[in-house]
Structure 1
């Protein structure tokens, strides 16, 4: 059974044709994420590529980055470029909203911290700077919503994406609100007519004939699968209390599924969010950082910007090689082993600090490969820090002791990074084999919501645990030998001390 999954990411737009029974992509086409005005054309071309000569799909699921969208006019045409999650245009407006309603009260109501990345702050900014785009006769379309609009002619969203706007109340698991909140919308001059209709988990809308759907059977069901990291966690089998996903992309998100809601104030103070899983049946903690694949891109632009493309690729490949035993030995034995604090644009969590920036810790190496690897160490420790704090908030022990599902393209492309994660994490780390977990997860949810399967399948995972030798992205992570390989607690203490003390 074939189903289409669409992933609208910060960097790339991907369309996958997914074999639902096998929970794997059988064909994938990708392009740089286009601006909204070109989205329909690029989407149609990608659909043509993955469907060419193959059986017709039975459903379509769409996932996307959150906190990103664009106003559309009465003709459903986008008005301008993406208003993205990482632009910080709404910082002062978020502060004003928090002053009006109370920062703690807003978090308790929505599960989201008041910050410039939330669309509610962007909408306040639009009211001041471009009121004709949205507040007059416009409507807000999130990234996934705009794709579904092109496929179906209906502007709809789901609770995981609505929940990232700070204009949608958290609700109780299994009893989610069926619309954006009127009071929160009114606070920025909007009403229900300005935002998408929120579909309940299980609801779909049908494909309609149009420029973007020439290769799709008319009438097949389309679902807004939701927030990309949450959808990837679903694909990885993170669906029950105690399960944890670490989703790597341009950003990195750690998600722990819970049995019940924790106290909101400590979650907000840690810079994390409280959400509902894609099925809407369980609470979850979400910790996000923009310093993941984006930090590697920043490093290459900052320290290798003068190199030719092939030289930069060679440098990245060398730093990604997990087989350099001399470097691993130095990292283990040197008290001042080099690491680089990875906060490219502030730290969201833990210990939020908008002024945090990359900073070296230890002896700075002259070798650019070792310098880039120091960033990988910092990124692995940043994720470990998030995991530890999230476990405490979830009511667990101070040392995080469950297993994690690691997923996303960077985890496959960079074996050294993946190996570091396995070494600094107290519990076992499992690498999800599917390289397109967001698109596959969107397809699995679409199949489930269309009634094509009773319970979507779980993608295969392989343990990536020190000291075992494993195959990661085609490169073997070699056995380190007897004895402790890394003193992860020592490294983490150095990292946290440096991160929290200027």
Structure 2
């Protein structure tokens, strides 16, 4: 078998692709910057520009061997409204963009009803809030007949079938969590037809790659929507089954906790009330509880404050911090809201190493508090895999080992794209070694 399995991750920062052979080995990588148009705190992207980039990176990694299967993961909430001819009716608004009509949802559906029905906190993030804003500000979107999350849109433009994947649909505010079906009240609020088809599980075959504008290396490959990027990354490192936790340390730290259903409405309400989300997983018959905090962003800001602007400088700072006390009597980080932080309690003798150790310990403590809340409502987790670029900092690695004594770590550089390639294998009928048999280790591979 000479063809490759291609995983595409349409991320907030980059559009990435990896090629994986049937043994599970990475054979090629490619990426491009995600082409957002930004103005005044807003961000949106031309849906067709995303298609062009994904075709490019996928063809580059497939190369002469070609693709047996293609799986697409990516950011949630962001999506594309199309008319009856699959033509985009508006730009795709970034998931973090402040545009969104929360007030109408709260008034017409009720905050508690929305959160217990969808498993999502009522904020501007869910797609429903973005769609209501578009309906009011872009009247042409009234002609929409379908909404595609980004991964679903790419698969469709590669020649695939119009499908809704469960983990992505769970982020839209358009899905009834308990029944895993489109929520009719949400579409009634939009005044539109059901914009989601009946959802399918990640890895389900969604047709074959076709089209004259598709590179030859990709044609004929089995297509699948791999699902929500955080969950697909957990799948890629073998942490997407009941009782598993994937602690991903990127710009945002994501705690991806997989559980077996059901969760009672009171459990869902308790989780969403604390800013966490509950949705269907990329593995059939599983739910995912997702919590996030700005660990990487906070550490990046502290590092810049200390003049540690390169990876080497931050690693050296982390090594120095290991000799500093884990708890300073007065120094602490204080949240100012909206992602703003203050450094409080600076006294004589506070060094860069002490400040770095204080920042690391504060973020790990907050992560621990979030995880304790999840475990209290879903039962204790039984295994942990930790990954992400910030794990290469010695001080954070040490703190995480103390937080998760039995943790496994991963050397997979792009777990989201890698997991998408594994789900492409499922769609293509290719047997790849089980996730926990691959590049998941007991130590960190330094880059």
Where on the TM-score scale, by shorter chain, does this alignment land: which range?
A: 0.7 to 0.9
1:18 to 17, 20, 23: 20
Question: How far is 1:185 from its partner?
Answer: 1.3
1:350 paired residue number? none
Cα deviations by residue, 1:155-204 (Å, 9 ceiling, x for unpaired): 433010011001111135xxx43xx3232112122222x44663345242
Question: How far is 1:125 from its partner?
Answer: 0.9
2:136 to 120, 128, 131: 128
Alignment of 1:197-216 (within 5 A): 198-201=199-202, 202-216=204-218
Question: How far is 1:139 from its partner?
Answer: 4.2
Whether the aligned pair in 2 keeps the contact of 1:340 and 1:377 (CA below 8 Å) is no
Tell which has more relative contact order, 1 or 2 (C-alpha 8 A, sep 6+).
2
1:277 paired residue number? 281
CA-based RMSD: 2.9
**Secondary structure of 1:318's partner?**
helix
**Secondary structure of 2:289's partner?**
strand
Pair 1:210–1:384, CA change in 2 (3 A): farther
Pair 1:40–1:281, CA change in 2 (3 A): same
| Number of equivalent positions | 429
Whether the aligned pair in 2 keeps the contact of 1:43 and 1:212 (CA below 8 Å) is no
**Secondary structure of 1:105's partner?**
helix
Question: How far is 1:32 from its partner?
Answer: 1.0
2:222 paired residue number? 221
1:47 paired residue number? 58
1:266 paired residue number? 270
Give distance in 1, aligned partners of 2:274 and 2:312: 35
Q: Does 1:462 align with 2:441?
A: yes
1:61 paired residue number? 71
2:96 paired residue number? 86
The TM-score normalised by the length of structure 1 is: 0.77
Question: How far is 1:216 from its partner?
Answer: 0.9
Give distance in 2, aligned partners of 1:443 and 1:343: 41
Give distance in 2, aligned partners of 1:318 and 1:370: 15
Give distance in 2, aligned partners of 1:182 and 1:102: 15
Which ranges of structure 2 fall in alignment gaps of 5 or more residues? 36-44
Whether the aligned pair in 2 keeps the contact of 1:95 and 1:114 (CA below 8 Å) is no
Alignment of 1:414-425 (within 5 A): 414-423=393-402, 425=403
1:380 paired residue number? 364
Question: How far is 1:404 from its partner?
Answer: 1.5
Alignment of 1:161-180 (within 5 A): 161-171=168-178, 176-177=180-181, 180=182
Alignment of 1:147-162 (within 5 A): 147-152=154-159, 154-162=161-169
Whether the aligned pair in 2 keeps the contact of 1:415 and 1:472 (CA below 8 Å) is no
Pair 1:137–1:271, CA change in 2 (3 A): closer
Give distance in 2, aligned partners of 1:10 and 1:183: 30
Question: How far is 1:110 from its partner?
Answer: 1.5
Pair 1:19–1:59, CA change in 2 (3 A): same
| Higher strand residue share | 2
Whether the aligned pair in 2 keeps the contact of 1:151 and 1:210 (CA below 8 Å) is no
Q: Does 1:116 align with 2:124?
A: yes
Question: How far is 1:27 from its partner?
Answer: 0.9
Whether the aligned pair in 1 keeps the contact of 2:258 and 2:289 (CA below 8 Å) is yes
2:81 to 47, 57, 71: 71
Give distance in 2, aligned partners of 1:445 and 1:342: 39
Whether the aligned pair in 2 keeps the contact of 1:9 and 1:33 (CA below 8 Å) is yes
Give distance in 2, aligned partners of 1:418 and 1:426: 10
Give distance in 2, aligned partners of 1:104 and 1:241: 27
Question: How far is 1:271 from its partner?
Answer: 1.6
Give distance in 2, aligned partners of 1:97 and 1:227: 24
**Secondary structure of 2:8's partner?**
strand
Give distance in 2, aligned partners of 1:362 and 1:15: 45
2:234 paired residue number? 233
2:41 paired residue number? none
Alignment of 1:197-346 (within 5 A): 198-201=199-202, 202-218=204-220, 220-260=221-261, 261-262=263-264, 263-289=267-293, 291-296=294-299, 303=305, 313-314=309-310, 316-321=311-316, 324-325=319-320, 327-332=321-326, 334-336=328-330, 338-341=331-334, 345-346=338-339
1:146 paired residue number? 153
